[in-house]
């Protein structure tokens, strides 16, 4: 029988790509979102890519316990992937209560509903931000977490701990996987779904594509005096489709009883460090566009260098990032051009 996966925050950037991959892998998916940080285009795009006109969409506020319980009562949920959360680092510093309330409450409601149902497989979307500025790179899952430098980062650490404790107390009925994403970028090759930042983008690649298309006058590169080969920060940029496929592997691992512990952690990255400047140069080259950029002082709170050791995900989950940075940056640009065409 087909298994059902609930995707909270399913209409967002990562959620929509994960939904596509789950459907294509043969799962029934319930997409749930409150559309607080995205519109319905992600849902429409997923339907178009997969041909699943009947894809269930539930408008749910995960901070509302009654709504979350109703959702679990309505569908035979075998696994839940929890994305529904706020994610802007700077905003979390300004509005900590809003971040703690939203990110913790929504996850607690999911866990409570899962427990009441008698158990569930829970996949939590965590972040490399939990490693802070690591003492050594690449980071493995055993690399110690560092104290969070923002309320956003703290919510990721707290939710990791909450899931671990819940799994431990459940006597095996709740199982958990924490996926720690590095820097997800790019868009679906169909250019029908992608990242839709509201307002001025915080993240690098949306800022690059918006500058290239003329929405922004100039990209600011934060710092070129770091102790790295070209002076700009080093990151592990991971293609969004590769990242989405990691979720299919993780869900399969949970549902097929392949887990080696009731709560597991995996780094989801390429293992390939790339500097901000290298990424900018690659974007210009592969897309044949000239980018207006300048170097400005460092951004507060930025980590100098971080990239993944993805060996555990490669060997244990049978997942590996496969797309080249060129393919990924091409897809990011095609998505921006798709948005431009839509507006005309």
Q: Which residues are known to be catalytic?
A: 152
Instruction: Say whether residue 16 binds ligand UD1 (CB under 6 A).
Output: no
The closest of 119, 84, 114, 85 to 100, measured between CA atoms, is: 85
Instruction: Say whether residue 317 binds ligand UD1 (CB under 6 A).
Output: no
121 or 125, CB closer to ligand UD1? 125
In order of 249, 272, 333, the CA distances from 205 in angstroms are 26, 17, 9
Instruction: Say whether residue 282 binds ligand UD1 (CB under 6 A).
Output: no
Instruction: Say whether residue 221 binds ligand UD1 (CB under 6 A).
Output: yes
* Closest approach of ligand UD1 to the CB of residue 207, in Å: 4
* Closest approach of ligand UD1 to the CB of residue 344, in Å: 26
Q: Which stretch binds ligand UD1 (CB under 6 A): 11-19, 22-30, 66-74, 199-207?
A: 199-207
Instruction: Say whether residue 301 binds ligand UD1 (CB under 6 A).
Output: yes
Residue 315 and residue 24: Cα distance in Å, rounded? Answer: 23
| 233, 240, 250, 321: residue in contact with ligand UD1 (rule CB under 6 A) | 233
- Which positions from 175 to 194 touch ligand UD1 by CB under 6 A, shown as an x/- string? --------x-----------
Q: Which stretch binds ligand UD1 (CB under 6 A): 1-9, 188-196, 198-206, 309-317?
A: 198-206
Query: Count of CB atoms within 10 A of residue 157's CB?
Result: 18
Tokens matching residue 96: 């900590």
* Closest approach of ligand UD1 to the CB of residue 240, in Å: 11
Residues in binding contact with ligand UD1, number by CB under 6 A: 20
* Closest approach of ligand UD1 to the CB of residue 204, in Å: 4
Q: Which stretch binds ligand UD1 (CB under 6 A): 47-55, 104-112, 214-222, 246-254?
A: 214-222
Cα atoms found within 13 Å of the Cα of residue 285, Cβ hemisphere only: 10
**Any idea what the Cα angle at residue 116 is, between residues 113 and 120, rounded to 5°?**
70
- Quote the distance between the C-alpha of residue 20 and its chain's center: 14
- Which positions from 24 to 53 touch ligand UD1 by CB under 6 A, shown as an x/- string? ------------------------------
Q: Which 113-172 residues touch ligand UD1, going by CB under 6 A? A: 127, 129, 153
- Which positions from 262 to 281 touch ligand UD1 by CB under 6 A, shown as an x/- string? --------------x-----
Instruction: Say whether residue 222 binds ligand UD1 (CB under 6 A).
Output: yes
Residue 250 and residue 123: Cα distance in Å, rounded? Answer: 8
- 3-class secondary structure, 181: strand
* Closest approach of ligand UD1 to the CB of residue 89, in Å: 4
The closest of 117, 133, 1, 128 to 68, measured between CA atoms, is: 117
Residue 45 and residue 2: Cα distance in Å, rounded? Answer: 23
Burial track 82-113 (b if 16+ CB lie within 10 A, e otherwise): bbbbbbbbebbeeeeeebbebbbbbbbbbbeb
To which residue do tokens 């940056």 refer?
329
Helix (H) or strand (E) holding 53, with range, is: none
Q: Which stretch binds ligand UD1 (CB under 6 A): 10-18, 19-27, 110-118, 299-307?
A: 299-307
């Amino acid at each position: 029988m087909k298994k059902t996966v609930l995707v909270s925050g399913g209409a967002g950037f990562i959620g929509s790509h994960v939904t596509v991959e789950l459907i294509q892998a043969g799962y029934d998916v319930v997409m749930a979102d409150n559309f607080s940080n995205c519109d319905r285009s992600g849902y429409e795009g997923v339907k178009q890519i997969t041909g699943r006109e009947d894809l269930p969409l539930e408008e749910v506020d995960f901070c509302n316990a009654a709504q979350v319980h109703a959702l679990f009562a309505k569908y035979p949920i075998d696994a839940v992937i929890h994305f529904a959360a706020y994610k802007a680092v700077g905003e979390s510093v300004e509005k900590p209560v809003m971040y703690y309330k939203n990110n913790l409450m929504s996850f607690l409601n999911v866990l409570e509903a899962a427990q009441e149902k008698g158990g569930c497989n829970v996949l939590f979307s965590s972040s490399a931000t939990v490693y802070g500025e690591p003492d050594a790179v690449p980071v493995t899952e055993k690399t110690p977490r560092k104290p969070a430098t923002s309320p956003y980062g703290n919510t990721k650490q707290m939710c990791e701990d909450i899931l671990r404790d819940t799994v431990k107390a459940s006597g095996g009925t709740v199982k958990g996987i924490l996926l720690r994403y590095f820097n997800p970028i790019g868009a679906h090759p169909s250019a029908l779904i992608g990242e839709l930042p509201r307002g001025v983008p915080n993240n690098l690649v949306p800022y690059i594509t918006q500058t290239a298309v003329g929405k922004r006058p100039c990209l600011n590169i934060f710092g070129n005096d770091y102790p790295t080969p070209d002076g700009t920060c080093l990151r592990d940029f991971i293609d969004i489709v590769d990242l989405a496929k990691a979720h299919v592997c993780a869900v399969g691992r949970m549902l097929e009883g392949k887990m080696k512990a009731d709560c597991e952690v995996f780094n989801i990255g390429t293992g390939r460090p790339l500097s901000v400047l290298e990424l900018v140069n690659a974007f210009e080259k592969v897309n044949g566009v000239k980018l207006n950029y300048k170097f400005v002082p460092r951004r507060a709170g930025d980590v100098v260098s971080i990239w993944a050791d993805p060996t555990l995900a490669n060997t244990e989950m049978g997942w590996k990032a496969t797309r080249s940075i060129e393919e990924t940056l091409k897809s990011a640009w095609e998505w921006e051009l798709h948005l431009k065409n839509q507006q005309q």
